[in-house]
Chains A and B, each alone.
Chain A
Amino acid sequence: MAEQTLSPTTTGSGAAPAADPPRIKPKKQRRTGNALLGVLAWIVGIGFFFPILWMVLTAFKQEADAYTSPPKLFFTPTLDQFSEVFSSGIGPYLLNSVFATLMSTVLVVLLATPAAYAVSLRPVKKTQDVLFFFISTKMLPVVAAIVPIYVVVNYIGMLDNVWTLVVLYTAMNLPIAVWMMRSFFQEVPKELLEAASMDGASLFRSLREVVLPVVSPGMAATALICVIFSWNEFFFAVNLTASQAATVPVFLVGFITSEGLYFAKLCAAATMAALPVVIAGWVAQNKLVQGLSFGAVK
């Protein structure tokens, strides 16, 4: 194992030392140390991921194989649990989750993009106050507002309606999105914008040709983070929906209470609930870092 981890750093680093000379000292001692730390990183990574791996494995077991002590590592995989989860009606919940997530993400991007443009490229007076206000709305605990929200939503007949979730998820993600997009807008070179306006380009043309190309990767990162938080949201969903508009996390709760505890089936349902966002996050992990650091990384 140590040999394996060592070899790519030494042989495969024909180009690496040139790019990164101060980090790797040509000392044998240091190399072994590095290799050991590499092994440690692998152990930590696998250890941290192991609960998830076990959940996915259990999802492919029969219930009898899931309830064993000591836990069973080898078993005949089956898709029974997944088909049972489907037949117990996860479909509509998935559709609600997809709708609430995508629709609120679109709304967030539509609202946050011009706002971020205003606070970064054409700064309004009291920019700091505006930014402060947005982030402060995230600091207010949502529980403090849930009672009136419930009463109002009930009063206008929007209880158990997906659009209620769309509106609330939009409000929930808007502050973070404004902050993130502001940091991406600030990377637009001011000289380019000024050159465009001197050349007589209209506002929309300079937006389309100068600003958009720079900020669109940032918009994608922002959208991804909104998707993660909306898909995983539980508090509003469990309190404001019942049978028509409930999302996947709510399905998981109902699933336990109605069926009792079945390890394998539960793991299958949990895997299905987590999978879409996990895959999206894996694919776009670089964007994720960039977005979450609010442009603190240059």
Chain B
Amino acid sequence: MTTTTERPDTAAATARPARGPGSARDGWIRRAPLLPALIFAIIVTQLPFLVTIYYSLQSWNLVRPGSQSFVGLDNYATVFTDSQFRGVALNSVVLTVGAVIFAMILGLLFALLLDRQFFGRGFVRTLLITPFLITPVASALLWKTVLFDPTYGLINFVLSPFGAGNTDWVSSYPLTSVMIALVWQWTPFMMLLTLAGLQSQPADVLEAARVDGAGSFAIFREVTIPHLRRFIELGVVLGAIYLVNTFDTIYMMTQGGPGTASANLPFYIYQRAFLGFDIGQSAAMGVVVVVATIIVSTFALRLIFRSFSGAEEAS
């Protein structure tokens, strides 16, 4: 025990003598605390997905009782030829990428503003993080009624001097409206992360750069941005994980409409399953989404892991 456990992976790889630490029994003792969580996660999150794969090979519509039969890959063929599905997939990408990017840019700017001494800094930070805490359903209602309402909404009131009178934001620009609400909700999260990053900058490095005669902008580019990188990566990856699953905001603001103009994949699959009762179809879509997500997230996870193993070596 005395020579092990400085680095998780090297310890696991090298400490494997025949007896004592590293033996099979010791391995199980080490693994035991992990098992409850692992087993729970596998049962609740992985098994349903296997069942989804099974359903995706069935033709099964709840409206037609006894319609369940094996149809192979038919559902997948339908999914790929469904032009609505493609439109919705595109919406998903636009919504997720757009919201993450805008929230990140705003969050970074706000973090830079808050990373300096000024009167009431703590209070301003409290104001800024609140949208992240608000129940998304409540925030969607807030945007739909209080802000975007064509007659009584605050947005039109504020814009009225500029001639933008009675725009019905939610029905004219559904996807943009949803994205604005999401950006508002997620900017605080990005701000919190980048602010944490800014405030953890090693003071001695900053000082050294200044002594070397670097200007503010040079310091920002050469020291701050590289230091912030893993905080930004973490924010992007976590934000994307949650934003790609957005359901409540769309459900409350637009119901995916008009048509499917503002539906994303989660909402569309929900519509197929719970309003169209087409289990086979929606399961096939679910599988397609999961495969696509796995491909994208493999890259994303690499990013997180690289950031983190780098972080641990540094500290």
- Given A48-B131, A58-B146, A263-B146, the answer on whether A136 and B251 have CB atoms closer than 8 Å is no
At the interface with chain A, which of B75-83, B135-143, B170-178? B135-143
Contact A71 B157, beta carbon cutoff 8 Å: yes
Bound Cα distance A148, B207 (Å): 58
Asked if A144 and B297 make an inter-chain contact with CB atoms under 8 angstroms apart, the answer reads no
Q: Can you give 27 contacting A-B residue pairs, CB < 8 Å? A: A5-B119, A9-B117, A41-B110, A44-B124, A46-B127, A48-B131, A52-B131, A54-B146, A111-B37, A114-B37, A115-B34, A135-B304, A144-B49, A144-B290, A147-B283, A148-B51, A168-B44, A174-B41, A249-B136, A253-B251, A266-B141, A267-B142, A273-B137, A281-B133, A292-B192, A293-B197, A294-B308
Report the nearest A residue to B297, measured CB to CB. A139
| Secondary structure dominating the interface of B | helix
A5 to B1, alpha carbons, bound, how many Å?
57
* A95 contacts partner chain B, Cβ-Cβ < 8 Å: no
Count residues on chain A whose CB falls below 8 Å from chain B CBs.
Answer: 120
Q: Are A148 and B119 in contact (CB under 8 A)?
A: no
A52 to B128, CA, bound (A): 11
- In the bound complex, residues from chain B placing their C-beta under 8 Å from that of A91 are none
A119 to B30, CA, bound (A): 9
Q: How many residues of B contact A (CB 8 A)?
A: 115
User: DSSP majority for the A interface?
Assistant: helix
B55 located at the interface, meaning its Cβ lies under 8 Å from any Cβ of chain A in the complex: yes
Chain B residues in 8 Å Cβ range of A103: none
B293 lies within 8 A of A141 (CB) = yes
Interface membership of A222, Cβ < 8 A: no
The answer to whether A48 touches B187, judged by C-beta atoms less than 8 angstroms apart, is yes
The yes or no answer to B217 lying at the interface (CB within 8 A) is no
- Do residues B192 and A141 form an inter-chain contact, with CB atoms below 8 A? no
- A-side interface residues toward B, CB under 8 Å? 4-5, 7-9, 13, 16, 20-24, 34-35, 37-38, 40-42, 44-46, 48-49, 51-52, 54-55, 58, 66-71, 111-112, 114-115, 117-128, 130, 132-152, 167-168, 170-171, 174-175, 178, 186, 190, 194, 197-198, 228, 231-232, 234-235, 238-239, 248-249, 252-253, 256, 261, 263, 266-267, 270-271, 273-274, 277-278, 280-282, 285, 288-290, 292-294, 296-298
CB-contact partner of B245 in A70, A120, A142, A197, under 8 A: A142
- Interface presence of B163 (CB below 8 A): no
| A233 shortest CB reach to chain B, Å | 9
Residues of chain B with a CB closer than 8 A to A40's CB: 113
In the complex, the answer to whether B286 meets A147 with C-beta atoms within 8 Å is yes
Establish whether residues B282 and A147, one from each chain, have CB atoms under 8 Å apart when the complex forms. yes
B5, B41, B195, B234 — which one has the most chain A CB atoms within 10 A of its CB?
A: B41
Which of A135, A136, A249 is the one whose CB lies under 8 Å from B248? A249
Chain B, Cβ-Cβ closest to A70: B157
Are A52 and B274 in contact (CB-based, < 8 A)? no
Contact partners of B146 in chain A: CB under 8 A: 51, 54-55, 58, 263, 267
CB distance from A267 to the nearest CB of B (A): 7
**How many Å from the CB of B291 to the closest CB on chain A?**
10
Given A135-B304, A148-B51, A296-B196: A274 touches B133 (CB 8 Å cut-off)? yes
